Amino acid sequence: MFTSIAIIGRPNVGKSTLFNKLTKTREAIVSDFPGLTKDRNYGYLKLGSFKSMIIDTGGIGKDSSSLSQNISDQAWIAAHESNLILFLIDGSENLSSEDFEILSRLRKINKPFLTLLNKSDKSSKSDAIDDITSKGITEYLEISAEHSRGLDILKKSLLDKFLEKDTETIKDGKKIAVLGRPNAGKSTFINNFIKQDRLIVSEIAGTTIDAIRIPFSANKEDFIFIDTAGIRKGYKQNHKVEFFSYVRAMHAVEESDVILFLVDSEEGIVDQDLKLINMIAEQGKPILIGFNKIDLLNKKERLAMYETKRLRSNFLKDFIKIEVSGIKGTGVKKLFRILNSLIKKSQKNYSTSILNKHLKDFIERSSPPSSGGRQLKLRYIHFGGILPTTFIIHSNQDKKIPANYKKYLENSFRDELGLNSIQLKIIYRKSENPFEGKVNKLTERQIKKKKRLMKHVKTNK
């Protein structure tokens, strides 16, 4: 189960600091100046195989200005749409009327929340604990986000809460998430594929606002299509519907086995498509690019579409592309075969012997260059995991390998193993010298022999 966690509280209680600690980033700006966070910021909390989206929000205050009200509105939107809320309080101070108002509203929205008393390492005395217990809160955690105190207990608590609820299971089947910009024809395509009018179709962009799961069977196998809302440009700054349509789309990516990214053939690939494909690729899932509404283009227009600068870019050349039509049903059978093949390839494990055989062939074809006067030696390679498919190469250098040679190896593995549209990650590690730090202790006989030899050296001089 993929989840969302919102951090809310009044200004300057340490929400952005906690966000940075949980996501292990510096995405959120931290300052002693209150009210610095004005928009929602998001990142990911990873605890083993568990992954959740964390949403940092602006401070909820009493200021009547339109900006302050908008910041508060955005924070409450995040609270309503999340699976769990972290209610952050400054534990070094007595609770303010703003804290009590937030608490009161939290109870009204009927969402699970966890109360955190931040800045608990400060020496200043406060009645914060007495204040929250007087309001009926008996479960709380004392933390210091700045100094990472209590964060391990917080992470364990989050893990326990979500794993307890992770009992719901969607019907087993390979999951295909369908993404793209608004009005790319995602719902029409799925309706045609499953031969049902399961999804509402309209010429108005943005009709789909949630991720909808549609189970179906093909060739005696079970599948699930996940139709997602179209992601618009500027979704981060937009209001409730569009931002959380993006959040749900990212949830769909996380739980899917393969991504079908649909593009409107009449418009072609645009910058927004490239940004979305790049974001999806970072999740490690295989991506198939489908040019939908291809029936609206003649032969000349189709050829011109492939000659555009964006489509000829190095970034897109590693992705498989297919022409489809949701209305006419063009390319549907071929697309299904490719999607099934990508799922199998993305989840395949590779033996060490096969990988080393290929690595040896690639090195013989093009020898590694020297770096800093030292010959680069790639000693061996082994499989590191899936989603993304990961290979680990051990060599005598790890940071000085030229980028062009890394690209050569990546392209070679892609071509040899048929990894187009599969996210491939190659990690380079410096091999440890097994004799480093070891002292070669001579025996008494060896010491005497060394002395005799040294005498001859001195005599000859």
Domains in the chain with CATH codes:
3-165 (3.40.50.300), 174-346 (3.40.50.300), 349-461 (3.30.300.20)
Q: What is the pLDDT of residue 160?
A: 82
CA atoms of 342 and 55, how far apart (whole Å): 32
Mean per-residue pLDDT for 360-383?
89
CB 83 within 8 A of CB 2: no
Residue for token pair 């939908």: 292
- 388: cis peptide before it, omega within 30°? yes
CA atoms of 158 and 4, how far apart (whole Å): 11
Cα 140 to chain centroid, rounded: 30
pLDDT tens column, 264-307: 999 889 888 888 898 889 889 999 999 999 999 999 999 999 88
Tokens of 136: 């009926």
Which tops the pLDDT comparison, 4 or 142?
Answer: 142
Q: Does the pLDDT at position 170 exceed 90?
A: no
CB 132 within 8 A of CB 95: yes
Instruction: Name which of 196, 197, 327, 309 is nearest 262 in CA terms.
Output: 327
Tokens of 453: 């030899």
Q: What is the pLDDT of residue 208?
A: 40
Beta strand 424-430 pairing with 389-395? parallel
pLDDT tens column, 114-167: 999 998 877 677 788 888 988 888 889 999 988 989 999 999 998 887 765 543
Element spanning 429, H or E: strand 424-430
CA atoms of 109 and 102, how far apart (whole Å): 11
CA atoms of 183 and 159, how far apart (whole Å): 38
CA atoms of 207 and 190, how far apart (whole Å): 14
User: DSSP alpha helices (H): ranges in 166-309?
Assistant: 186-194, 240-255, 271-281, 299-306
Element spanning 19, H or E: helix 15-23
Q: Does the pLDDT at position 365 exceed 90?
A: yes
CA atoms of 274 and 287, how far apart (whole Å): 12
Give the residues across from 287 on adjacent strands: 259
Q: Does the pLDDT at position 434 exceed 70?
A: no
Burial (CB count within 10 angstroms: exposed 0-12, middle 13-18, buried 19+), residue 446:
exposed
Tokens of 168: 């719901």
Which tops the pLDDT comparison, 171 or 424?
Answer: 424
| Torsion sign (Cα): 322, 324, 329, 330 | negative
CA atoms of 441 and 45, how far apart (whole Å): 50
DSSP class of residue 372 equals T
CA atoms of 356 and 362, how far apart (whole Å): 10
Q: Does the pLDDT at position 96 exceed 80?
A: yes
